[in-house]
Structure 1
């Protein structure tokens, strides 16, 4: 069984809509902290951040009937106290507002001593002020389950045409809190204030594009109510690799076997081996078909090479299995299996036999995944720890989800598949998702689309294999590999300020 060691701080828990509503309700009913107080804390937290912008003079607030509108009204009240004018537009009028929202509207009117408050009771009568310099989205929140329609759709369309920054309350209007899907119309915020817990939809599908910069605003929710959460946001704030520990012998610092390569696909082995070696392992051992040895001798001087088969063999065959198993028995370590091994039938048989005899922690990548998907039954020993690293197409193939593809509900797919197969699954894409046998999942917090290019997967597989060889758990190894990519990206974005935005794959 896989032993998971990752513990994210509560600030990096990702809530779905049901958990968000449950925590809010339990805090009110069981802790005696009423909804009006929670709304006051949420709105005041956002207002303090906005007040750091000294140039604000007039805000336009788009409001629905629920508590998102109430959060917006709290902001308006605090900013009004700092001479920031407020224009409120209630998309569905001011009848039947939620009780706390109604209370905040009444309170806001009481604070309007200098007549800096304008209220529109509906969208039809709204006239945009020439002087507004920001927009607050307080229309629809995490309870949204149907498409945005009618005046709300008109307001979203209008807001998206504005040049002024848009600030969303908890989640942008039109974004599904669980899946990050676009619900008909979707507001594009520059900043989203996420209250009490980050919403997982902010990091999935359309979420990163529509949410802008995300500010987590803490609310007095008891931590014990959050412990059923099973989705978390990766960040260097709480997860960093330990520096490699030197040993008395080179093999004490970690050994990674890389079983890789075939004719025409030698680059995958080179890139994964170089990537793993850069992390400070004691030894990286490349197991390859004998016919490719000359290429690797010239390109990988620091890597130990173990060729199998004959000099005329340029791809792995079933008859090479025993040789590879014998090589793996020489030193205890971890295994990276699959980069560039090809897709011949005899290679599939090779993969099946080697994996069935291998008890080391193992990363299966690229062509290794393709071969695995061809098998009716997996050759996974009961106590072995496997890490699978599929890109979206490979994930579809593994899960037999060819029609819809894995993107729409990828988080759910990854979670279920990792549990069913008792593996750790690193699903490449935007975001990167790590699924574990226990059902916990970890999401990246950066734009992974920059890595949608040939070779990036081989580099990532090398990193994950290296961390696994350093005795990190499979889930931690995957997460560290993804965070290593973020560090590299941050470096290049600072150095190359003109780097273009990657293609949007949504």
Structure 2
């Protein structure tokens, strides 16, 4: 294999609340960089970006009493130095702020030499000015574990009704830092500045919709303190789509076998084969029931066809397994099993027999996953490498977990990948790659298109192609996802209509 794992840059590590707090505490205690300094860097980083990209004159700062408010107060201090009027509302009063937030409040008042500051010590006292340009959300941060309550609800609802942009400090108020779940109510931010590490909840469930544009601001956290992280953000800032290098012979340039198709479901095999062929493989070999061979002879000229059974066979049967295994042994290559396979009981037995005896790198998709779910246990040989590509419903069926489609989807993928020793490419938003080691990767871009009929076959073809080219399962999933994304973006840039899957193969 060319590359077995993806090494994300530290800027793309996704931290849960516990790890975020642990890193912050260790930096203060072991590196002797105090919390006040960290707060200063966070607020000044946000201020720099805001001043560069906007022409604001006045803003409303909604503040709680913790360090989230402290970040907002640092930001306010920088903005008043640029003659921006600031109105600060303390939802819980200003007498018992966290020590670093209290220190920054004192400092902020010292910088107010042109009277740009107005303070309110409760929500009840607040009178909204007639004109203002933006709202800063410094209410509640990553420590939120229960529903938003009291005047914080009023402040959130007020902010969400305004036309002005809302900018959140670290994470939008009301979003759970680990799950992305809305805790009763939540700020709908235009943009979010996340400090020192990207918060996991920004990319799960309601997080992406509530966070808006996410700006990562680096803090002086030692990278070694982040090593306990096991979830990473996947995007083309660091995963570069590569071009395959042709070998001296077609069978040296990547060979992919595809076991697919049944009567009425021939299109899935066509989409998968065309998608894989477009990635530059030396040979794509489609194994199909002989009864549907004429369809593929007409539609897939470049693809090698290997029919099994008789002309009266329109789906795979247990009796075909030995013949298929003989074909798979002819050339070394990867295997894609499942598109359009059908759901006959004999096909389930066929799938079990083939998979239990084939050790080559394998992608299992669509009806192949349905067949797996019918078995008492997955028939994975000990040394084989499998990639499973379920959509949310298929993931639920495989894991028998009714909660796998909500905020527990990441946990379900992680646990199932570890338990079964497989790599999981879970389609949905976000796309999730789960690995046997427990590491997971979340997509930082829209993957909902891959839930459309046919597009999953295209994705399976691309992932399988990279596996056939000699890449490891994790890298193959990442390359397949990004390649599909880039071709879709290119198509949409040239056309106004939503493409059919075949348009961006």
Aligned to 1:203: 203
What do residues 121-179 of structure 1 show as CA deviations (whole Å, max 9, x unaligned)? Answer: 00011111122100110000011000011111111111111110111100000001111
Answer with 405-414 or 371-380: which moved more. 405-414
Establish whether residue 80 from structure 1 lines up as the match of residue 74 from structure 2: no
Aligned to 1:16: 16
Task: Answer whether contact 1:335 1:360 (CA < 8 A) is retained.
Answer: yes
Supply the distance in 1 between the matched residues of 2:172 and 2:4 (Cα, whole angstroms).
Answer: 34
Supply the distance in 2 between the matched residues of 1:124 and 1:92 (Cα, whole angstroms).
Answer: 11
Task: Answer whether contact 1:2 1:437 (CA < 8 A) is retained.
Answer: no
Establish whether residue 193 from structure 1 lines up as the match of residue 193 from structure 2: yes
Aligned to 1:219: 219
Aligned to 2:174: 174
Equivalent position SS for 2:401: coil
Answer with 486-495 or 123-132: which moved more. 486-495
Question: Map of 1:72-471 to 2, 5 A cutoff?
Answer: 72-402=72-402, 404-471=403-470
Aligned to 1:503: none
What do residues 214-271 of structure 1 show as CA deviations (whole Å, max 9, x unaligned)? Answer: 1000000000100110000011121123321111111101001010000000010000
**TM-fit CA distance, 1:493:** 4.0
Supply the distance in 2 between the matched residues of 1:43 and 1:154 (Cα, whole angstroms).
Answer: 25
Supply the distance in 2 between the matched residues of 1:79 and 1:405 (Cα, whole angstroms).
Answer: 44
Change (3 A) 1:375 1:2: farther
Answer with 63-72 or 487-496: which moved more. 487-496
RMSD over equivalenced CA pairs, Å? 1.5
What do residues 326-346 of structure 1 show as CA deviations (whole Å, max 9, x unaligned)? Answer: 010011000000111000000
**TM-fit CA distance, 1:408:** 2.1
Equivalent position SS for 2:215: strand
Equivalent position SS for 1:379: coil
What do residues 86-108 of structure 1 show as CA deviations (whole Å, max 9, x unaligned)? Answer: 00011111021000000111111
What do residues 346-370 of structure 1 show as CA deviations (whole Å, max 9, x unaligned)? Answer: 0000000000110100000000000
What do residues 35-94 of structure 1 show as CA deviations (whole Å, max 9, x unaligned)? Answer: 000000000000000001342000110000001101011111101000011000111110
Supply the distance in 2 between the matched residues of 1:154 and 1:493 (Cα, whole angstroms).
Answer: 41
**TM-fit CA distance, 1:274:** 0.6
Equivalent position SS for 2:381: coil
Establish whether residue 68 from structure 1 lines up as the match of residue 68 from structure 2: yes
Answer with 445-454 or 106-115: which moved more. 445-454
**TM-fit CA distance, 1:451:** 3.0
Supply the distance in 2 between the matched residues of 1:244 and 1:315 (Cα, whole angstroms).
Answer: 34
Change (3 A) 1:177 1:498: farther
Equivalent position SS for 1:52: helix
Change (3 A) 1:488 1:76: same
Aligned to 1:504: none
Question: Map of 1:31-70 to 2, 5 A cutoff?
Answer: 31-70=31-70
Supply the distance in 1 between the matched residues of 2:121 and 2:42 (Cα, whole angstroms).
Answer: 24
Equivalent position SS for 2:53: coil
Task: Answer whether contact 1:2 1:385 (CA < 8 A) is retained.
Answer: no
**TM-fit CA distance, 1:377:** 2.3
Task: Answer whether contact 1:392 1:407 (CA < 8 A) is retained.
Answer: no
Task: Answer whether contact 2:17 2:143 (CA < 8 A) is retained.
Answer: yes
Q: Unaligned 5+ residue runs, structure 2?
A: 500-505
Change (3 A) 1:228 1:2: farther
Task: Answer whether contact 2:2 2:470 (CA < 8 A) is retained.
Answer: no
What do residues 160-219 of structure 1 show as CA deviations (whole Å, max 9, x unaligned)? Answer: 111101111000000011111010001110111010000111010001100011100000
Structure 2 length as normaliser, TM-score? 0.97
Supply the distance in 2 between the matched residues of 1:499 and 1:485 (Cα, whole angstroms).
Answer: 14
**TM-fit CA distance, 1:405:** 4.2
Supply the distance in 2 between the matched residues of 1:305 and 1:261 (Cα, whole angstroms).
Answer: 12
**TM-fit CA distance, 1:494:** 3.0
Task: Answer whether contact 1:2 1:474 (CA < 8 A) is retained.
Answer: no
Equivalent position SS for 1:306: strand
**TM-fit CA distance, 1:499:** 6.5
Task: Answer whether contact 2:193 2:215 (CA < 8 A) is retained.
Answer: yes
Aligned to 2:502: none
Answer with 347-356 or 240-249: which moved more. 240-249
Q: Unaligned 5+ residue runs, structure 1?
A: 501-506
Supply the distance in 2 between the matched residues of 1:497 and 1:204 (Cα, whole angstroms).
Answer: 29
Count how many residue pairs are aligned between Structure 1 and Structure 2: 499
Equivalent position SS for 2:119: strand
Task: Answer whether contact 1:261 1:341 (CA < 8 A) is retained.
Answer: yes
Task: Answer whether contact 2:290 2:308 (CA < 8 A) is retained.
Answer: yes
Aligned to 2:488: 489
Task: Answer whether contact 2:241 2:483 (CA < 8 A) is retained.
Answer: no
Answer with 333-342 or 483-492: which moved more. 483-492
